[in-house]
Structure 1
Amino acid sequence: MTTNAPATAPTSLTPGLRAVHHIAFTVPDLDEAVAFFTGVLGAEEAYRTGPIAADDDWMHRQLGVDPRATVHIAMLRFGPTLNLELFEYTGPGRREQMPRNSDVGGHHLALWTDDFDASVRHLTATPGVRMLGEPEEVGEGPIRGTRWVYLTTPWGLHFELVHAPDHQPYQDHTAVRLYQPGAPHEGRGT
């Protein structure tokens, strides 16, 4: 006998879940994106694969895209903590406009820099990179002293440069620590 009772919410955390393995972005041109992330930002290319396509509805079932879509993929290693997967799709119904940060699905990639000013100078001199506004320093609140600025890649992906002091006010109220190079990496403790 089956019942139409609503599913109950999980009562505990997901067993075995411990870290982020990778994040992924869909880009309009895989070669251009890999060249930018490796040649300008210093990522390392681990591998490429594709084209991946299917004669049935596998692409829709597994990836939520049009069944006739084709994809090429590159996996990059970015610094000590990030695997970055890039997808280039072809196929019907593909939107080519990047979402705004305020759109559902909007996003950005925040990158730590040890030398904020030198990074800003370098990136703003890079063809196709555009800085949004001016660099800012947070004057109060939990991340006081953090410097940041948003930029866009040549194809329009938003990314942010960040540099923060070793001690931030939020640390006075919790044992949780945000990752930053040179700090303990377990998320808790001092």
Structure 2
Amino acid sequence: MNVRAIEHVGITVPDMEEATRFFVDAFGAEKLYDMLDEPLGGPEVEAGLGVPPGALITVIRMLRLGNGPNLELFSYSGVQQAQPVVPSDFGIQHICIYVDDIDVAASRLEKAGGILLSRPGVLPGGDAGSGNRYVYTRTPWGSTIELVTYPSAQAYERHTHLRRWRPLPTGPNDYENQAE
């Protein structure tokens, strides 16, 4: 088996156009394509995705986001839907987007309709390092997104040769303090 990376993250949204605008305005996402020519549902879809009877996928849209995984947005109809999970719920509870300037990214997210749950703060513990920061946020429909930046080596790097995946550097000073 050769695992290379996460290819995409799927997010169910209540309004496809609002969600697309949010990801474009907040993160510069690019709309690549809509996957369906007509709604998709029925017993095979219900069984294959583990969704309730009557669930109908009305739109699937693929977005490109920087040099990380793509975002696949889903819009459903025909079934009652629960509120988005919060970090204390079981299951996949947030996505994290790496940004170069967390203050600018946080401001842009707010202008796009997102909510900051706090101001950007210093990354603790194994993630600590000069300028390494994070903030948790919410989309307009309530999904949790973490913004993170770690331009310096992280504290855990002193104790192991193993390294987390990180986005490709974009400039000559990126990762200048990174441990080898």
Q: TM range, normalised to the smaller chain?
A: 0.7 to 0.9
2:119 to 134, 155, 167: 134
Determine helix, strand or coil for the equivalent of 2:109. helix
Q: 1:20-64: per-residue Cα shift (whole Å, max 9, x none)? A: 221111111111111111233111111112333244x11221111
Structure 1 consecutive aligned stretches of length 4 or more whose deviation exceeds 3 Å = none
RMSD of the TM alignment (CA)? 2.2
Highest Rg: 1 or 2?
Answer: 1
| Cα 1:117–1:59 shift into 2, 3 Å | same
Q: Which amino acid aligns with 2:31?
A: E
| The structure with more helix, counted as a fraction of residues | 2
Instruction: Provide the secondary structure at the position in 1 that maps to 2:96.
Output: strand
Aligned-pair distance for 1:167? 1.1
The size of the alignment, in residue pairs, is 168
Q: Which residue number corresponds to residue 119 of structure 1?
A: 105
Query: 2:118 is matched by which residue type in structure 1?
Result: G
Identical aligned residues as a percent:
37
Residue 106 of structure 1 and its aligned partner are, at CA, apart by: 4.8
- Superposed CA deviations along residues 73-103 of structure 1, whole A, max 9, x for unmatched, are 00111101211111111112x3241112101
Tell me the alpha carbon deviations over residues 160-190 of structure 1, each in whole angstroms, 9 at most, x when there is no partner.
Answer: 1111132111111222222133199xxxx94
Q: When the two structures are superposed, what TM-score results if normalisation uses the length of structure 2?
A: 0.82
Relative distance call for 1:35 and 1:80 in structure 2 (3 A) is same
- Amino acid paired to 1:134: R
**In structure 2, distance between residues paired with 1:54 and 1:144:** 46
Alignment of 1:24-173 (within 5 A): 24-50=10-36, 51-55=38-42, 57-71=43-57, 72-92=59-79, 94-124=80-110, 126=111, 128-139=113-124, 141-145=125-129, 146-173=132-159
Contact 2:118-2:136 within 8 A present in 1 as well: yes
CA distance in 2, matches of 1:167, 1:95: 42
Consecutive unaligned residues of structure 2, counting only runs of 5 or more, are none
Task: Return the TM-score normalized by structure 1.
Answer: 0.78
Residue 61 of structure 1 aligns with an amino acid whose one-letter code is A
